[in-house]
Chain A
Amino acid sequence: MTEEILSPLAGNVWKINVKEGDQIEEDDEIIILEAMKMETPIYAPSDGKIKSLSVKEGDSVEEDAVLAILE
């Protein structure tokens, strides 16, 4: 079962704290977005493994863009 992690707001990808294949737990800070000159951490919605990352650092993302896929 896979789960898409969506961007809750538009911004730029500031930092990615995980890599593909990483095991993560719910509420881990996986990505930090930058919007309105403010860092906004994106937390893991549930436990799982990062199947793939859909963005890289520096990318600009729209609201609801897929950031990563969790399995």
Chain B
Amino acid sequence: MEISSNLPALLQSVGFFSVTPGMIIMWGIALLLTYLAIAKQYEPLLLLPIGFGILLANLPLTGLMEVNEGLLWRFYHYGIQWEIIPPLIFLGLGAMTDFGPLLSRPSLIFLGAGAQAGVYVTFFIAQYFGFSLEEAATIGIIGGADGPTTIFLAAKLAPQLLGTVAVAAYSYMALVPIIQPPVMKLLTSKEERMIRMKKSRKVSKLEKLVFPIVSVVLIILLIPASAPLMAMFMLGNLIRESEVVERLKNAAQNELMNIVTIFLGVPIGATMNAESFLQASAIFIFLLGLMAFVVSTATGVLLAKLMNLFLEDKINPLLGAAGVSAVPMAARVVHKVGAEADKKNYLLMFAMGPNVAGVIGTVIAAGTFLTILR
């Protein structure tokens, strides 16, 4: 008697009856990302947890993203909104980054800056198409090809776009080997691609030790809003280069990095519910993000060609494409495209210079947006 009168209520509490068509579409997207992560190994460290997070967020009645209540909401709130996880990722990146290739040829830092042009160009174009300033900045930063920076900026400026821009950024990073080469080949001649770089200068230990300290001071004084990311990045790097705290270096590179990566991906996926993601603007954001990538690659290459007009030791203009900060994918792409033109041309380590400079460039771009827009 009791049970039968409560049956409708009981049925309502079963999730099956609350599934909406939008949720089912999102399951498809979740499975697609998970498939790409597993079968194609597209950025699996991020796309796997993001894909699963999307699936979880689109199961009805779970309360997982319930404000103040849900498990995934707590991950999101304390990890991302509180700005803890992206800086911790940067700590790990700092501990992994060797600035040697950059220090051995400091002029290559310009390429890391030049390849940020896509960020700013896309910022203006997105505004033209009706996105708010905050949203436009968040979309533009996709062109920096730096996941944690994109997430950091999105959480501050346009949290409603966080999931979309994060997925766009990580997808395009996975597609760097497909997106970049046609642009690079279009803008260079075979002779230019065959340019061999002059041997790099040996970098002393002292230089490597001084670099994180000097650059953290200079960059934070210049753009204080970049401090959370820059501080952790350079702390990680100092830990690495000091060579006296091997345990901290290993923890930052491995255990800590792995733990925060798990807590980064799942809640980002969980922000992508059907209502917020299934909008025409999402497609637009993907297109604009792609454009940002292409423009950044192109300006990097063109800037390298411009520099060659003044330099005695010519640089291979392909290096400009490594200025987008997808580390080390963009550098690998440079190496491969260079090796296609001349198989005995080893550009990899040279390309790491602009590549790591690109990371700094993207953080500066994000800091600039924060300063202007907040």
Q: Which of A's residues lie within 8 Å of B, judged by CB?
A: 8-10, 27, 35-38, 40-41, 43, 63
Closest chain A residue to B200 by CB distance?
A63
Which residues on B sit within 8 Å (CB–CB) of A43?
343-344
Which residues on A sit within 8 Å (CB–CB) of B344?
8, 43
A36 touches B346 (CB 8 A): no
A36 touches B343 (CB 8 A): no
A10 to chain B, nearest CB (A): 7
| B349 part of interface (Cβ distance < 8 Å) | yes
User: In the complex, which of the residues B332, B343, B346, B352 has the most CB atoms of chain A within 10 Å of its own CB atom?
Assistant: B346
* Complex Cα–Cα for A27 and B342 (A): 11
A40 touches B349 (CB 8 A): no
Query: What are the nearest 5 A-B pairs in CB distance?
Result: A8-B346, A36-B328, A9-B349, A38-B332, A9-B346
Which residues on B sit within 8 Å (CB–CB) of A41?
343
* Complex Cα–Cα for A10 and B335 (A): 14
Which residues on A sit within 8 Å (CB–CB) of B200?
63
A40 touches B346 (CB 8 A): yes
Indicate which residue in A27, A37, A63 contacts B349 across the interface (CB closer than 8 Å).
Answer: A63
7 contacts across the A-B interface (CB closer than 8 A): A8-B344, A9-B349, A36-B328, A38-B348, A43-B343, A43-B344, A63-B349
User: In the complex, which of the residues A27, A40, A43 has the most CB atoms of chain B within 10 Å of its own CB atom?
Assistant: A40
| B141 part of interface (Cβ distance < 8 Å) | no
B351 to chain A, nearest CB (A): 9
| B331 part of interface (Cβ distance < 8 Å) | yes
For the A-B complex, the count of residue pairs with Cβ-Cβ distances under 8 Å equals 26
Closest chain A residue to B346 by CB distance?
A8
Chain A, interface SS category:
loop
A9 touches B348 (CB 8 A): yes
* Complex Cα–Cα for A36 and B349 (A): 9
Which residues on B sit within 8 Å (CB–CB) of A63?
200, 349
- Contacts beyond the supplied A35-B348, A36-B328: 16 A-B pairs with Cβ under 8 Å: A8-B344, A8-B346, A9-B346, A9-B349, A10-B349, A27-B343, A35-B349, A36-B331, A36-B332, A36-B348, A36-B352, A37-B328, A40-B335, A40-B346, A41-B343, A63-B200
* Complex Cα–Cα for A17 and B71 (A): 53
Which residues on A sit within 8 Å (CB–CB) of B335?
38, 40
* Complex Cα–Cα for A59 and B348 (A): 19
Which residues on A sit within 8 Å (CB–CB) of B343?
27, 41, 43
* Complex Cα–Cα for A36 and B343 (A): 18
* Complex Cα–Cα for A19 and B328 (A): 32
Closest chain A residue to B202 by CB distance?
A63
Which residues on A sit within 8 Å (CB–CB) of B348?
9, 35-36, 38, 40
Which residues on A sit within 8 Å (CB–CB) of B346?
8-9, 40
Which residues on B sit within 8 Å (CB–CB) of A10?
349
Which residues on B sit within 8 Å (CB–CB) of A8?
344, 346
* Complex Cα–Cα for A57 and B349 (A): 21
Closest chain B residue to A41 by CB distance?
B343
* Complex Cα–Cα for A9 and B328 (A): 15
The A-contacting residues of B in range 298-343, CB under 8 angstroms, are 328, 331-332, 335, 343
* Complex Cα–Cα for A10 and B98 (A): 12
A14 to chain B, nearest CB (A): 14
